[in-house]
């Protein structure tokens, strides 16, 4: 019996996993060769080769965006520590401690997410500004479109943008800054009670870290040290920032290249 169709998984991979322009012409040529007597193994080799070649070409076309996302995410730990220091100097933890639970925890986590969003969107704008200017398309609408393109990745990684940064800061101040760890509801309630005691009770009897202070170990490990930190906590903290920036810049790089041409 003559074969009338190539392997279905290979056809699906060619249609959905090969980036770039439409693959209908290539799929048609491979189909003709397969019907003419080529083996299934040959068809698989051609499909995998096409996917690898297309992916390599896309990486070359987007190498600037890939490099920028990597370099910008390397700065993420330094931003986290700087933002934590800003929270300390503004006494934000004392203000949050006066809020009713669970809003104190919700606002505390939201503050971490807001700091991450500020860092992410600043990097996206920093990359797109010269890119759009060189393409002659420097408009506020284009910049906002670039920022908005990060939203799908943010929806997927929003929890990581809270957990990993807080874990990184907590690793460097494990005892004094334990409140930075994302707690369970019961732990959150206990933390809230301790904060209320710290605010309305005797501050001298409490460890400064229990009322939102930052320990000397955190001051010794500053933002400059965080940039070169390659330990597990720092690398985990960088990952969500890298993926969000890359996902936002990838389609925008293609669009600005089309404008320039």
Residue 186: the pLDDT is: 47
Dig out the tokens for 35 from the structure: 């019907």
Distance, CA of 241 to CA of 221 (rounded, Å): 21
Helices 140-148 and 232-260: crossing angle in degrees, nearest 10, is 140
> Which residue ranges in the chain fall short of pLDDT 50?
1, 174-187, 189, 197, 199-219, 259-261
Straight-line distance from the first to the last Cα atom of the chain, in angstroms, rounded to the nearest whole number: 51
Distance, CA of 117 to CA of 40 (rounded, Å): 48
Residue 212: the pLDDT is: 39
Q: CB of 212 within 8 A of CB of 111?
A: no
Residue 122: the pLDDT is: 95
Residue 118: the pLDDT is: 94
For residue 184, CA distances in Å to 1, 85, 96, 137, 189 come to: 63, 25, 18, 48, 9
pLDDT digits (tens, 9 = 90+) for 71-112: 999 999 989 888 887 877 777 767 777 777 778 788 888 888
Longest Cα separation, the chain? 88
């Amino acid at each position: 019996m003559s074969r009338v169709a190539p392997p279905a998984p290979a056809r699906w991979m060619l249609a959905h996993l090969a980036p770039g322009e439409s693959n209908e012409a290539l799929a048609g040529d491979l189909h003709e060769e397969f019907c003419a007597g080529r083996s299934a193994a040959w068809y698989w080799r051609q499909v995998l080769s096409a996917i690898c070649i297309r992916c390599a070409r896309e990486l070359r076309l987007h190498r600037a965006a890939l490099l920028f996302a990597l370099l910008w995410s390397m700065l993420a730990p330094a931003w986290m520590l700087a933002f934590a220091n800003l929270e300390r100097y503004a006494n934000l933890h004392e203000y949050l401690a006066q809020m009713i639970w669970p809003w104190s925890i919700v606002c505390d986590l939201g503050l971490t997410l807001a700091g991450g969003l500020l860092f992410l969107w600043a990097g996206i704008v920093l990359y797109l500004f010269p890119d759009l200017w060189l393409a002659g398309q420097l408009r506020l609408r284009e910049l906002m479109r670039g920022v908005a393109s990060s939203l799908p990745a943010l929806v997927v990684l929003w929890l990581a943008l809270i957990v990993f940064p807080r874990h990184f800061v907590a690793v460097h101040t494990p005892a004094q800054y334990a409140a930075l760890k994302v707690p369970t509801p019961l732990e959150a309630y206990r933390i809230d009670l301790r904060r209320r005691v710290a605010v309305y009770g005797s501050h001298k009897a409490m460890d400064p870290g229990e009322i939102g202070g930052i320990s000397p170990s955190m001051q010794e490990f500053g933002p400059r040290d965080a940039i070169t930190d390659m330990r597990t906590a720092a690398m985990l903290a960088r990952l969500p920032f890298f993926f969000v920036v890359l996902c936002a810049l990838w389609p925008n790089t293609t669009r600005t290249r089309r404008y320039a041409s």
